[in-house]
């Protein structure tokens, strides 16, 4: 599904959704290994979940979901080239898939994110704090869905 670099980025975003912790680019393998062990996962369950999220990630990268409006937003986010928000988009797609949120709400949240990213780019505001914001969004969204 992905090149080696894209796969590593995907795993990093996946781990942010699952652990609500910022993952350093140079520690993706170790972080996944720790996640796998701490969650008591078996290989089959881990692969099923990874494949589900890999499909979401592929849809984000190629802006090819079932919703035209969401695809337009994903296209704009990809043009802005701010992959740091992909973790939150993965979470939104997962919440949407099991009915915790609907497509209208998903589009609304994604549009707010798109607008924020555009403003940050236009104003040339440093994005070094954006990673922690995304981690926080993933954590808040996960607890709200339970």
Question: pLDDT by residue (tens digit) across 102-139?
Answer: 999 999 999 999 999 999 888 888 777 788 888 888 87
What is the rounded radius of gyration, in angstroms, for the C-alpha atoms of the chain?
15
Contact 54, 10 (CB under 8 A): yes
Residue 140: the pLDDT is: 63
**CA–CA–CA angle 82, 92, 21 (5° rounding):** 65
pTM value? 0.89
Nearest-angstrom CA–CA distance, 113 and 82? 11
* Residues sharing a CB contact under 8 Å with residue 30, sequence separation 6 or more, in sequence order: none
What percent of the chain has a predicted confidence (pLDDT) above 90?
A: 65
């Amino acid at each position: 599904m992905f090149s080696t670099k894209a796969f590593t980025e995907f795993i990093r975003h996946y781990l942010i959704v699952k652990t609500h912790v910022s993952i350093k680019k140079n520690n993706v393998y170790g972080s996944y290994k720790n996640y796998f062990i701490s969650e008591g996962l078996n290989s089959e369950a881990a692969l099923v979940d990874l494949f589900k999220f890999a499909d979401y990630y592929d849809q984000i990268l190629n802006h090819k979901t079932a919703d035209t409006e969401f695809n337009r937003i994903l296209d704009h986010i990809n043009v802005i080239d701010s992959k740091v928000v992909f973790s939150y988009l993965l979470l939104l797609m997962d919440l949407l898939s099991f009915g915790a949120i609907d497509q209208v709400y998903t589009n609304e949240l994604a549009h707010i994110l798109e607008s924020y990213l555009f403003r940050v780019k236009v104003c040339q505001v440093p994005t070094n704090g954006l990673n922690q914001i995304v981690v926080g969004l993933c954590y808040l969204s996960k607890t709200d869905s339970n």
